Amino acid sequence: MLKIDKKFAVTVTISILVTILVYIGIVTSLERPTLSRTPLSEENAVSIVIDKKNLNSSDQDFVTEFVNIKGNGSFYESNINSNYVGTHLGDSHPTINNANYFAWKVTDRMNNFTYFVDALNGEIVSEISQ
């Protein structure tokens, strides 16, 4: 009969549990934004567009949507609470450095312009006239 040392069994059990917890942590971190990377609110995105483009519009003149925009300008539906990228919604100009962004698509209905505001730092990364 094989005799297993208790310390060895406890060490192996703890190692397996820690590995499982780390795996769960990594998988769930990909599904949700972290506290240090919390997206801007849609109201802040609209305010950034109004300020940076010197617009005289009110908040009612804008429609917002959370999207993922690729470096080539194609944008896709997204969810602010996850890293989900859904179906293709349309195309814009390429982003400022050809990078991909989770962004607020802010459409100015008065001036027929659409701006894409980086959801993390508030930079306008692309725009297109309708």
Q: What is the pLDDT of residues 12-34, one digit of tens each?
A: 999 999 999 999 888 877 666 66
Task: For the chain, report the end-to-end CA distance as a whole number of angstroms.
Answer: 79
∠ Cα 87 90 93 (to 5°):
130
Residue 25 neighbours by CB under 8 Å, 6+ apart = none
* Residue in the structure block whose two tokens are 């599904």: 31
4 lies in a domain?
Answer: no
Q: What's the pLDDT score for residue 59? A: 62
Dihedral of alpha carbons 81, 87, 89, 91, sign:
positive
Residue 111 neighbours by CB under 8 Å, 6+ apart = 55, 57
What pLDDT digit, counting tens, does each position of 29-63 carry? 766 666 566 788 888 999 899 888 888 766 678 99
77 lies in a domain?
Answer: yes
Number of domains in the chain: 1
Q: What's the pLDDT score for residue 19? A: 97
Confidence of residue 69 (pLDDT cuts 50, 70, 90): very high
30 lies in a domain?
Answer: no
Q: What is the pTM of this model?
A: 0.72
120 lies in a domain?
Answer: yes
Q: What's the pLDDT score for residue 35? A: 58
Q: How far apart are CA 28 and CA 122, in angstroms?
A: 25
Q: What's the pLDDT score for residue 88? A: 92
CA dist list (Å): 124 to 18, 66, 100, 106: 42, 14, 13, 10
Q: Alpha carbon 13 to chain centroid distance?
A: 37
31 lies in a domain?
Answer: no
What pLDDT digit, counting tens, does each position of 85-105 carry? 889 999 999 899 888 999 999
Q: What is the domain extent for residue 113?
A: 38-129
